[in-house]
Amino acid sequence: MSDGQPPETGRVILVGTPIGNLGDISLRAVEELRRADVVCCEDTRRTRGLLSALGVPAGSRLMALHAHNEAGAAEVAVRRAAAGATVAVVTDAGMPGISDPGERLVAAAIAAGVPVDVVPGPAAAVAAVVISGLPAQRWCFEGFLPRSGRARAQRLAAIAGDERTTVLYEAPHRVLRTLEDLVEACGAQRPVTCARELTKLHQELWRGELAGALRWVEEHPPRGEWVVVVGGAPAAAVGEDAVGEALGAALDAGVDRRSAVAEVARSLDVPKRRVYEAALTMTWPPRDL
């Protein structure tokens, strides 16, 4: 019989785990794993080993949740959380849901009204982009490319034209082919950083251009997991016609010439002096310049 109190609501909590160096585990991550009623994990053997290294008893709390069973396992995990259990979610390394299982579970929990929390932790994409030496103010995470076909070609074309730094994950046996495709799509001179075994004992980084990266991988058979950080496309050159057309459109719209010069310089990301000089060649009298 109910005592009139609502049942305790559990939660799903995503826990970031080390991508290589055990010392990167956070104190909060250890505490949440210790307190969890259920620990969903990709490989129960690997997670049991991680918990043992952390001094956290695994007991019978481990539940497999991986790419091949995530839909069904997510449903079970959400039911457990809805009944009051704390369900921790980990992957073999890094943050759940980032090119790893976890996304479906989060969506299912939200749909069921189950609270979702997160313990931030290591992520190979972030580690690679900040150590790459390439621009990190704006960057794009692509994860694993499609294996073949039109989807792969479209993704490569998008990367080739993107002015942002792009971060890719790749398996060792596919790195060479991916670099070959990137050379073809982006050009041999596009800057790149290849990172393998990040934070591990044999961490290795190669920085240079795609053509050099391709030669390096050919000479050093790849092992371990790879992150490929590709520099953005050079900014497209803005021609004189484009400057003139933009300036003319602004003036036709009634913008005064001084404001039009500033607006066009800002929108096309070109020097103000260049737009000013273009304005001087136009037929309108430069009375307000």
- For the stretch 26-41, pLDDT in tens is 999 999 999 999 999 9
CATH superfamily for 125-230 is: Tetrapyrrole methylase, C-terminal domain (3.30.950.10)
Tell me the residue length of the chain: 289
Closest CA to 25 of 102, 92, 124, 120: 120
For the cut 70, the answer to whether the pLDDT of residue 6 exceeds it is no
Q: Among the listed ranges 110-119, 194-203, 262-271, which one has the minimum average pLDDT value?
A: 262-271
Q: Residue 61 has which token pair? A: 């709390």
Closest CA to 238 of 280, 209, 267: 267
At 269 the pLDDT is 74
Question: Which residues, at least 6 apart from 271, have a Cβ–Cβ distance to it below 8 Å?
Answer: 265
Pick the CATH number of 11-122 from 3.30.750.24, 3.40.50.720, 3.40.1010.10, 1.25.40.10: 3.40.1010.10
242-287, pLDDT tens digit by residue? Answer: 888 888 888 888 888 888 888 888 887 777 778 888 888 776 544 4
- The CB-side HSE value for 181 (13 A sphere, CA atoms) comes to 21
179-189, pLDDT tens digit by residue? Answer: 999 999 999 99
At 126 the pLDDT is 96
